[in-house]
Amino acid sequence: MKLNNVYIDDTFAEAFSMKATRIIITAMNLKWAYRAANAIRGFASSVIACGCEADIERELKPSETPDGRPGISVMIFAMSTKDLEKQVPMRVGQSVMTTVTTACFSGLQTEEKISLGKSLRFFGDGYQIAKVINGKRFWRIPVMHGEFICEESTGITKAIGGGNFLVLGKTARHALTACEKAVDEIQKVSGVITAFPGGVVGSGSKIGSKYDFLTASTNEAYCPTLKGQVKTALTAEIGSVLEIVIDGIDEKSISKAMRIGIEAACSFGPSKGIYRISAGNYGGNLGKHLFHLRKLFK
């Protein structure tokens, strides 16, 4: 199978079950909402070492936010409810509450919830005030710039992490140009994020290592500098492989994001240094969610 003469490997991306939440960050203007959102998604590229995976989902108009101010929707994924319970309040407290003029609200209404303002309220040192509006509890925490308003809890849901595809190109410049376009298109899909820096992974990994203390290590079959030393998955013309990893609310949203992303990358074609599309998997041993590349286009 080919798209614009780019070969699509007959393989699948292997993804795994996660838990996720969506929070809404608002501020006096979009600039400061972005400052807070960018801070909260820092060091959140992979659960391998970061504890969670987080990224900006989209900008929100004032008409779309609870307090009528410009906002940013941020999604945070983790391996369990317990992990989200640890990561979300900590990140909101250190990255959102500390950002000037911000407020924080739940962007997901579900029965299962985790603490948000409920734990952060103690920063008010006894001066915090609770307010119930339309059945939702909010906390008004006095801070030096005025007040930090934070919803008491945020909903969480089952989710999927690790949807992915590999872009195999002539050079890093060729592959990155294609991936940048792919990420731009994926960002238009609701309910998904690409948590790695810029949405692109430069050091794709495999499970395990020759070193007992590592749970993941370089995927040598796709390392162009190791072609002569290992059993390689690369042909002579491929000089760089980049990966795009997608977390999403459900299989439908990830499938759509993968399809759109692959189409964008393939639009460059072999004449612009893009030769193949593949995916990362572990034979089905890592996760139960399998995204077959060719089936995405049927």
Q: What is the pLDDT of residues 81-117, one digit of tens each?
A: 999 999 999 999 999 999 999 999 999 999 999 999 9
> How confident is the model over 21-25, as a mean pLDDT?
98
User: What pLDDT score does 27 carry?
Assistant: 98
> How confident is the model over 263-269, as a mean pLDDT?
98
Indicate the pLDDT class of residue 298, thresholds 50, 70 and 90.
Answer: confident
Residues 36-73 pLDDT 10s = 999 999 999 999 999 999 999 999 999 999 999 999 99
Is the pLDDT at 249 greater than 90, yes or no?
yes
The percentage of the chain sitting over the pLDDT mark of 90, rounded to a whole number, equals 97
Coil vs helix vs strand at 132: strand
Indicate the pLDDT class of residue 285, thresholds 50, 70 and 90.
Answer: confident
Q: What is the pTM of this model?
A: 0.95
Q: How far is Cα 54 from Cα 108, in angstroms, rounded to an integer?
A: 15
Q: How far is Cα 18 from Cα 9, in angstroms, rounded to an integer?
A: 27
User: What pLDDT score does 121 carry?
Assistant: 97
User: What pLDDT score does 125 carry?
Assistant: 97
Six-digit token string for 63: 């008409």
Residues 179-222 pLDDT 10s = 999 999 999 999 999 999 999 999 999 989 999 999 999 999 99
Coil vs helix vs strand at 94: helix
Strand-pairing partners, residue 193, are 247
Is the pLDDT at 283 greater than 90, yes or no?
no
Q: How far is Cα 246 from Cα 106, in angstroms, rounded to an integer?
A: 22
Residues 124-167 pLDDT 10s = 999 999 999 999 999 999 999 999 999 999 999 999 999 999 99
User: What pLDDT score does 254 carry?
Assistant: 98
Is the pLDDT at 282 greater than 90, yes or no?
no
Residue 35, C-beta contacts closer than 8 angstroms, at least 6 positions apart: 27, 99
> How confident is the model over 14-41, as a mean pLDDT?
98
Residue 32, C-beta contacts closer than 8 angstroms, at least 6 positions apart: 99, 100, 101, 102
Q: How far is Cα 183 from Cα 20, in angstroms, rounded to an integer?
A: 20
Average confidence score pLDDT of the chain: 97
Six-digit token string for 164: 């992915």
Domains of the chain, start order? 2-15+160-297 (3.30.70.520), 19-157 (3.30.70.520)
Q: Where are the beta strands (DSSP E) in 66-108?
A: 71-78, 103-106
